Structure 1
Amino acid sequence: MGSEESTATTLVTALRGVLGVGELPVRLRTWDGSVAGPEGAPVVAVRSRRALRRLAWSPGELGLGRAYVAGELDMEGDVFATLEALTSAGRLASRHASPAATVRERLDLLRAAARLGALGPAPAPPPEEVRLRRFGRRHTRARDAAAITHHYDISNDFYRLVLGPTMVYSCAVWESPATGLDAAQEAKLDLVCRKLGLTPGTRLLDVGCGWGSLALHAAGQYGASVVGVTLSPAQAELARARVADSGLGDRVEIRVQDYRDVTDGPFDAISSIGMAEHVGAGGMPGYVRALHDLLRPGGRLLNHAIAGNDEATTDRDPDTFITRFVFPDGELQSLAGTVTALESGGLEVLDVEALRRHYALTLRAWVERLEKHWDAAVGTSTEGRARVWRLYMAACALAFERGLMGVNQVLVRRPGGDEAPLRLRDWR
């Protein structure tokens, strides 16, 4: 008389089809203690039947992400090793949004859920999932403000634990992997200032100024006069406090303001660091036009942005983990698309620098800090929010390492005025 198939074995069989793999690349430990999957593989713990129900309703990336954020599914070992295994083959290895499971594969998953007592209505999404309306026009002022609030207003203390004292939430610039995150972020701030040619009295507009780190560096180290704008009230509150504490209130002004509403140009230089990802493909011409008009002739703009390394704009699918939990309405342009938009808007390209490997190092350092301060991070937000950030930052680190995403600094100038030096790479 044959023994009954274990819970873990049933689930492994169903997940192989849904994920599109011949062999499940991880070992499963299920809620009843049974284990199945290849020996020595990273272990994923399925702690509740509810995780399987989520997958039955949303097979693939989104269902897995929801179960992880809700604590119904966990990675028992190293998060990078587990994600590397999960995303090395099958649908989760796709460069684009994960292809949908076939009807037969979904039916097999439903049969497994029925055998394991996991059928039922769709579980409510975790509270950390954004619920922006999925219809209507993207990138209106109100909708952009709501998207920014979702991502940046969770807790300044949470970000301080992850980012460290520099409070810089964009790719650092590393001399070597041994540089250390804080020194690498200071190097990035200095690189931006030198690329923009800042000198005492230079008037700088920092679009998407975050917690004011670049504004403080530009004013304190280069004597610039800085206006920083952000849509996040929480960021502005802390940035203003940091400006006051530094004694640079006469040189730095922080505003809660949409860049489209800035009217007090011209500026000698404009920095846009990690902000263009929030603009969207349709908004790029208006974004470039607005910044062009705020820049004096001869002035420089540095556009620092993550790129999707393919021909199409990415992250426009509203049902990916990133768009649901992390960057609602976020869109990545290709480098070619960004350069085309800048040139079409009347700006002259001076320099392009790719920093892909630098962002992988930065993200790994952020994950390390989050895990080191896990209990405190959970205390400043929620466990679900900490899980979102751990999963998204680790997955993005792997994407940068594989070349699926890049990050680039594109330096441009508005024609007219003073010419740029014949050789610009003195900042190296």
Structure 2
Amino acid sequence: MAKTTGVASRLAEALAVVLGTEGIPLRLRAWDGSEAGPKDAPVLEFRSKRALRRILWSPGQLGLSRAYVAGDVDAPGDVFASFAALSSAGKFAVPGPFPPLTAKEIWTLAKTAVRVGAIGPNPAPPPEESKIHRHGRRHSQSRDAAAISHHYDVGNDFYALVLGPSMVYSCAVWNDTADEPDRPNSLEAAQEAKIDLVCRKLGLHPGMRVLDVGCGWGSFALHAAQRYGVDVVGVTLSNEQAGLARKRVADAGLTDRVEIRVQDYRDVDDGPFDAISSIGMSEHVGREQISHYVSQLHGLLRPGGRLLNHAISWNAGPTGPDPDSFISRYVFPDGEMLSLAEMIGALESGGLEVLDVEALRRHYAVTLRAWVRNLEQHWDEAVSATSPGRARIWRLYMAASALGFEDGLTGVNQVLVQCPGGTEPPLRRHEWI
């Protein structure tokens, strides 16, 4: 039986200080076997004194994130319940960067560390932490390439375990059925539905030339070429993605229809294209570069050509990049989420006409839960394919992201725009989608 007194009660006090709340809705389990907190609450496990040292040296989200990635802290049960309880408490419940601790709060935290014997030097960050933010000009081509490599070049085998056979790393489109995600092959069907929806919105038909910006492992390019008879140029900055995409294209016998390049979208100069898809790519562009992104893609479109921009949006008010957040340090270095209003404003200011906007927020929550389920079901294989820390990063970020979509802090939207000139679409939406 677990102790009801001991280190855990001290940890509960310390974590309450970090979060800026009177109590935490978690059951804390400490390295000495003691427990504290509501008995029926989700469990957060502190496996070593090093966990508290990490929080003391980096109070807030960064310290907790490092402790989790390193395995010093764990959520051994329902990861969604544990992270939901943590994010609902105190400062974590406030959108945007984690507010700094006051001198008094840091002093209280230090005294707790002394009492439980956790004082010591600052532990080295887990090796999976990105150092990209310390080098080069933000959103230069070289720095963007390094950021993309950090996230995507972690092993195609790992991504195959998480994403499933579809190899699509963006929001799927689900039927409005409660048990749909639990059905066999439902994730693959939902991803195919999303890709086909993009093809229909772009009005693809045989003979068209299409650019896929941020083509990933080539799933959209393959579908568009096979089902709609178009020629596709796919560009990515990830060498590992490009390698597998080219193999998939060759295996499908489509090398004469699909070209996969390792190329920055800013260097594409062989337009015009009849249509452009950008699915889950513009989050990497950055607020300062978004107008150039729109201008570049506009310049590559034929008159009357369409661009489909599928992107995550930040719905919780104005905020800038936080270089010390978990996402920036471990997941998407230099990534930025714009609001839907900002994205539409940039597209319209760039001379493109908005034809359609579709919000898919709830769909992404379901998609992320499906990915987490895949990861947990193949945990040992995922660890072998990358590292324990990398697998823990993906579990944390996907679970936390699902909660963000469910709470409405983040959204995801498909914005369809058209270059002036050319043939007008039919008057009613249902006639051309």
Provide structure 2 residue ranges, at least 5 long, that are not aligned to the other structure. 181-185
Paired position in structure 2 for 1:300? 306
Deviations 1:265-312 (A, max 9, x none): 000000000000000000001000000000001000000000000342
Q: Following the alignment from structure 1 to structure 2, what is the Cα–Cα distance between the partners of residues 311 and 137?
A: 26
Say if 1:313 and 1:332, in contact at 8 Å, map to a contact too.
no
Deviations 1:119-171 (A, max 9, x none): 12211100111011436421000000000000000000000000000000000
| More off after superposition, 88-97 vs 152-161 | 88-97
**1:217 and 2:223 correspond:** yes
Query: Which amino acid in 1 is paired with 2:235?
Result: V
Say if 1:19 and 1:101, in contact at 8 Å, map to a contact too.
no
Query: Which amino acid in 2 is paired with 1:386?
Result: A
Q: SS state of the match for residue 211, structure 1? A: coil
Runs of 4+ in 1 over 3 A off after TM superposition: none
Q: Following the alignment from structure 1 to structure 2, what is the Cα–Cα distance between the partners of residues 55 and 426?
A: 56
Query: Which amino acid in 2 is paired with 1:410?
Result: V
TM-score, normalising length: structure 1: 0.97
Deviations 1:342-371 (A, max 9, x none): 000000000000000000000000000000
1:318 to 290, 305, 323: 323
Query: Which amino acid in 2 is paired with 1:264?
Result: D
Q: Following the alignment from structure 1 to structure 2, what is the Cα–Cα distance between the partners of residues 133 and 189?
A: 33
Paired position in structure 1 for 2:93? 93
CA spacing shift, 1:31–1:222, aligned 2, 3 Å = same
Give the alignment of 1:197-236 within 5 angstroms.
Answer: 197-236=203-242
Say if 2:152 and 2:241, in contact at 8 Å, map to a contact too.
yes
CA spacing shift, 1:249–1:100, aligned 2, 3 Å = same
Per-residue deviation, 1:89: 2.3
Q: Following the alignment from structure 1 to structure 2, what is the Cα–Cα distance between the partners of residues 169 and 124?
A: 31
Paired position in structure 2 for 1:50? 50
Paired position in structure 1 for 2:255? 249
Per-residue deviation, 1:21: 1.4
TM-score, normalising length: structure 2: 0.96
Identity, in percent, stands at 67
Paired position in structure 1 for 2:376? 371
| More off after superposition, 9-18 vs 345-354 | 9-18
Q: Following the alignment from structure 1 to structure 2, what is the Cα–Cα distance between the partners of residues 158 and 245?
A: 21
Q: Following the alignment from structure 1 to structure 2, what is the Cα–Cα distance between the partners of residues 229 and 207?
A: 5
Say if 1:42 and 1:85, in contact at 8 Å, map to a contact too.
yes
Q: SS state of the match for residue 308, structure 2? A: strand
Q: Following the alignment from structure 2 to structure 1, what is the Cα–Cα distance between the partners of residues 212 and 240?
A: 17
Q: Following the alignment from structure 1 to structure 2, what is the Cα–Cα distance between the partners of residues 387 and 345?
A: 40
Query: Which amino acid in 1 is paired with 2:382?
Result: A
Q: Following the alignment from structure 1 to structure 2, what is the Cα–Cα distance between the partners of residues 54 and 184?
A: 40
Paired position in structure 1 for 2:179? 178
Q: SS state of the match for residue 341, structure 1? A: helix
Query: Which amino acid in 2 is paired with 1:406?
Result: G
Per-residue deviation, 1:95: 1.2
Say if 2:203 and 2:432, in contact at 8 Å, map to a contact too.
no
Give the alignment of 1:24-173 within 5 angstroms.
Answer: 24-134=24-134, 136-173=136-173
Per-residue deviation, 1:28: 1.0
Q: Following the alignment from structure 2 to structure 1, what is the Cα–Cα distance between the partners of residues 327 and 27?
A: 25
**1:343 and 2:344 correspond:** no
Query: Which amino acid in 2 is paired with 1:178?
Result: D
Aligned positions, number:
424
Provide structure 1 residue ranges, at least 5 long, that are not aligned to the other structure. none
Paired position in structure 2 for 1:239? 245
CA spacing shift, 1:271–1:237, aligned 2, 3 Å = same
Paired position in structure 1 for 2:422? 417
Say if 1:313 and 1:331, in contact at 8 Å, map to a contact too.
no
Q: Following the alignment from structure 1 to structure 2, what is the Cα–Cα distance between the partners of residues 313 and 358?
A: 24
CA spacing shift, 1:89–1:133, aligned 2, 3 Å = closer
Say if 1:351 and 1:410, in contact at 8 Å, map to a contact too.
yes
Paired position in structure 2 for 1:362? 367
Q: SS state of the match for residue 287, structure 2? A: coil
Say if 1:54 and 1:67, in contact at 8 Å, map to a contact too.
yes
